[in-house]
Amino acid sequence: MGALKFFGFYVNDPLHRFVSLIAGVAGFPALAISMLMAERRAAFQWGSSFFVVAVCAVVGILVFMATGSRAYLNAASVLSTLCVIVACWRQRYQLGVVSAAIMLVGLILFATKQPAGFTAVQPADLLHLALAAGWLGLSGFWKSHADQ
């Protein structure tokens, strides 16, 4: 949705915020868990994965509703991305380390609302570009595990 918004296809803003909330509090933690536990078969089973995402989403929504703050969303995203970097480092997946680091920079700039000094790109646009680049680089992680 963020990529669509970036390219000028404006989506419903409340829907975009909700999807962003779920991605931050459930998607990123699920990504980190699956990469840290890549050698475990349960990490790739649909039922186990759905359970992890559902629990993380419910907890994240409840925390957001109780506090009204995006702090938990930002913390979950940033800490999960740090875990992805650790998982890639352990498995010697250098492209994954670089890709996750790019995602981390985008997340931190967005969370702190810091514009990148070298460009006129807004923090939200930079976040979406960093996430797209990061996902592209991380996609090889699962391909390499599927081949094993």
Buried b (16+ CB within 10 A) or exposed e, 57-82: beebbebbeeeeebebbbebbbebbe
User: Is residue 3 assigned to a domain?
Assistant: no
For residues 113 and 4, give the distance between their C-alpha atoms in angstroms, rounded to a whole number. 21
Selection from 110, 101, 27 nearest residue 70 by Cα:
110
Determine the pLDDT at residue 26: 94
pLDDT at 116 over 70: no
User: Is residue 1 assigned to a domain?
Assistant: no
pLDDT tens-digit profile of 28-54?
A: 999 998 888 877 765 567 788 888 899
Res. 117 pLDDT band, cuts 50 70 90: low
Selection from 24, 19, 138 nearest residue 80 by Cα:
24
Determine the pLDDT at residue 124: 79
Give the total number of structural domains in the chain. 1
User: Is residue 50 assigned to a domain?
Assistant: yes
Share of the chain above pLDDT 70, in %: 80
**98 lies in which domain range?**
11-141
